[in-house]
Amino acid sequence: MLGPRLYSPFDETMWKSIAEGGMRIQRCDECSTYRYPPGACCPNCLSIDFGWEPISGNAKVLSWITYHKQYLPAYPAPTTIVAAMLDEGEILITNIDASETDKLSVDCAVRVVYGDHPDGYKIPRFTLATQTS
Amino acid sequence: MNAPQTKIEATSDRSLDNISAVVGIGHSDWRADYAAVRGGGKPTDSYGYGAVSLKRALADAGIDKSEIDGLIVGSPTSYERASELYGLAPRWGMQADSSQAIVAAMMAVKSGLCEVVALVYGNDQQSAKVQYGGPQAMGGGSNLSYVYHAPFGLTSQGALYALMQRRHMELTGATESDLGQVSVGQRAWASHNPAAIMKDRPLSLESYLSSRYIAEPLHLSDYCLINDGGVALIIMEKSRAKRQGRKPVTIKTAARYDLHGGSTTLRPRLMDFYHTGHTVVSQQIYNAVGLGPKDMDALLVYDSFSCHIPFALEGFGFCGIGESGAFMRETGIGPGGKLPINTHGGHLSESYMQGWAHQIEAVRQLRGEAGLNVPDCRNIQYISDVVGRVYSIIYGVE
């Protein structure tokens, strides 16, 4: 089983939270600024002290694309990718079921769900949020 | 986070403006090498493409290699190994991307660190099968956005631009036909350029629109070529260049502003289209030369993907936000147009030399030696905003 590639000593905790079905991202202890992807310090105040906070999972769509060519073994075409602004003010970019592509628009609501990557780990994905709250 | 800082005023004694000139240019045989590599060959490596280009730039400048006392190499090659292979003993040198190389040469000449700078780029990306997307994508060491999102399904630099393009279309009402003018216009320029790889491959808007998507909304023709090759320039102080015998092309001014806040998750791309940087840089360069967008006889834009052009036109004030489609249609950006853009064919249709070939096209146009010359060309602006480093350079002749 291959895990996702880790780019910093802080990535592992995030991936563990994803595996548990509740993605957490870092939040600065000093100034409360969220940051994603994981990293050593707060881009706002440079503090290296932080906690891990669960995301609400609610986001608004900024943009999307559909691959008509396969680049990654885990993602045959067509694959649709969405960039969306989380409630926490950080942008998350991940895939959405291709059948939902035609319903996407800027600012439409999506929420994070958890799916399986073929390499044997969990990933956050988007799905269109239902209109009812 | 990315608010423009106070306007930067160049002072007379510290300014780099109008000090340096390009006196020699050269490049490798892009078309022949492209065909050779497609046929399974490998004409040479990155250093070799640089050597071919340097030899031609020296001949063009009419100077001997022994006069070179500064060397700037492109990112695919080592500065030290290039100095060794090219038989140079520089007093000063470094490795840089194309925009930074020009600025660094200006700084070195102005400061007296060296007097005659060779800028040498060679890249064997096609024959070496460099990957710009997928499991082996390059560039992640410098730009995490190139690799970070792969587990989630996002990879390839084209996809990052496709996300910008989709949002631009949604926010402004721009269409695929609007964007298609870029690829069609540049292909028309390439048809006049004997060095352009796509010289004999005409492209109509209809065939653009019916070509396959790679990362929708971008079509195949929105993507740059991948080819082997090299480019070289010789830069020296303008006063010395005038004694050299050839008409020197002056580097009138240059400016830079970086946007890296939130760059891994594409914040400066999606929330700003890099316009904050465009605004600051445009103010600085246009103030420096006392000219504006309307005074540019041609525009050269770093075009790894076609959508760089509408974003640059809107960001640098050639037209209003969301107006680039109509602007390109009404003004004309191809041969005969009022604002010629990427007159060599650019990365899309001439050769993908990561901005380096744009610099020598500026020189060719201003000398009147281009494949198709822009009439009475006196000022050319170059714009690049690769991964948030916004640069602009204005070249001119007196």
SS (H, E, C) chain B: CCCCCCCCCCCCCCCCCCCEEEEEEEECCHHHHHHHHHCCCCCCCHHHHHHHHHHHHHHHHCCCHHHCCEEEECCCCCHHHHHHHCCCCCCEEEECCHHHHHHHHHHHHHHCCCCEEEEEEEECCCCCCCCCCCCCCCCCCCCHHHCCCHHHCCCCHHHHHHHHHHHHHHHHCCCHHHHHHHHHHHHHHHCCCCCCCCCCCCCCHHHHHHCCECEECCEHHHECCCCCEEEEEEEEEHHHHHCCCCCCEEEEEEEEEECCCCCCCCHHHHCCCCHHHHHHHHHHHHHHHCCCHHHCCEEEECCCECCHHHHHHHHCCCCCCCCHHHHHHHHCCCCCCCCCECCCCHHHHCCCCCCHHHHHHHHHHHHCCCCCCCCCCCEEEEEECHHHEEEEEEEECC
The answer on A84 and A21 residing in a single domain is no
Nearest CA in chain A to B144: A7
Does the beta-carbon distance from B152 to A67 stay under 8 Å?
no
B-chain residues near A106 (CB < 8 A): 167, 170-171
Domains in chain B, start-ordered, CATH in brackets? 20-129+227-242 (3.40.47.10)
Q: Is residue A20 part of a domain?
A: yes
Give every CB contact of residue A122 below 8 A, 6+ residues apart in sequence: A18, A19, A21, A114, A115, A116
Q: Is residue A108 part of a domain?
A: yes
The answer on A37 and A63 residing in a single domain is no
The answer on A114 and A66 residing in a single domain is yes
Cis ω for the linkage preceding A78 (within 30 of 0) = yes
Distance from CA of A103 to the nearest CA of B (A): 13
Which residue's structure tokens are 């070496």? B128
For A19-41, what is each residue's pLDDT tens digit?
999 999 999 999 999 999 999 99
Are the C-beta atoms of residues A88 and A78 closer than 8 Å to each other?
no
Distance from CA of B166 to the nearest CA of A (A): 6
Q: Please report the residues numbered 149 through 208 in chain B whose beta carbons come closer than 8 angstroms to any beta carbon of chain A.
A: 149-156, 159, 162-164, 166-167, 170-171
The pLDDT score that the predictor gives to residue B1 is 43
Token representation of residue A117:
């990557």
The answer on A66 and A20 residing in a single domain is no
Q: Block means of pLDDT (10 residues each) for chain B, length 398 residues? A: 51 83 98 98 98 98 97 97 97 98 98 97 96 88 93 97 98 98 98 98 98 98 98 96 87 97 98 98 96 97 98 98 98 98 98 98 98 97 96 96
The pLDDT score that the predictor gives to residue A76 is 97
Distance from CA of A133 to the nearest CA of B (A): 26
Is the Cβ of A106 closer than 8 Å to some Cβ of chain B? yes
The answer on A40 and A64 residing in a single domain is no
- CATH at residue A60: 2.40.50.840
The answer on A71 and A45 residing in a single domain is no
The mean pLDDT of A84-95, rounded to a whole number, is: 98
Q: Is residue A18 part of a domain?
A: yes
Number of domains in chain A: 2
Q: Measuring CA to CA, which residue among B114, B106, B108, B101 is closest to residue B18? A: B106
Which among B144, B155, B166 has the least Cβ separation from residue A63? Answer: B166
Q: Confirm whether pTM is higher than 0.90.
A: yes
Q: Domain containing A115: what range?
A: 56-133
The answer on A91 and A129 residing in a single domain is yes
The answer on A16 and A43 residing in a single domain is yes
Nearest-angstrom CA–CA distance, A81 and A92: 10
Query: For residue B1, what are the CA distances in angstroms to A46, B4, B276, B280?
Result: 14, 9, 10, 14
Which residue's structure tokens are 């540049």? B186
The answer on A69 and A48 residing in a single domain is no
Which among B133, B152, B264 has the least Cβ separation from residue A71? Answer: B133
Is the Cβ of A103 closer than 8 Å to some Cβ of chain B? no
Residue A133 has pLDDT above 50, yes or no: no
Q: Is residue A1 part of a domain?
A: no
The mean pLDDT of A95-121, rounded to a whole number, is: 97
The pLDDT score that the predictor gives to residue B182 is 98
Residue A120 has pLDDT above 70, yes or no: yes
The pLDDT score that the predictor gives to residue B220 is 97
The answer on A61 and A124 residing in a single domain is yes
The answer on A94 and A133 residing in a single domain is yes
Query: For residue B70, what are the CA distances in angstroms to B80, B83, B217?
Result: 12, 10, 44
Is the Cβ of A130 closer than 8 Å to some Cβ of chain B? no
The answer on A77 and A12 residing in a single domain is no
First to last CA, chain B: 40
Q: Is residue A2 part of a domain?
A: no
- Edge-first strand order for the sheet with B379-384 is B92-95, B70-73, B116-123, B229-237, B20-27, B249-258, B389-396, B379-384, B298-301
Nearest-angstrom CA–CA distance, B109 and B250: 13
Q: Please report the residues numbered 7 through 46 in chain A whose beta carbons come closer than 8 angstroms to any beta carbon of chain B.
A: 7, 36-37, 43
E strand segments, A72-108: 79-86, 91-96
Q: Write down how long chain A is.
A: 133
Judged by DSSP in three states, A67 sits in strand
The pLDDT score that the predictor gives to residue B135 is 85
Nearest-angstrom CA–CA distance, B186 and B276: 27
Burial of residue A48, with CB atoms counted within 10 A of its CB: 0-12 exposed, 13-18 middle, 19 or more buried: exposed
Beta strand A24-28 with A50-54 is antiparallel
The pLDDT score that the predictor gives to residue B12 is 60
For A52-84, what is each residue's pLDDT tens digit?
999 999 999 999 999 999 999 999 999 999 999
The pLDDT score that the predictor gives to residue B8 is 53
Judged by DSSP in three states, A85 sits in strand
Q: Measuring CA to CA, which residue among B224, B75, B190 is closest to residue B138? A: B75
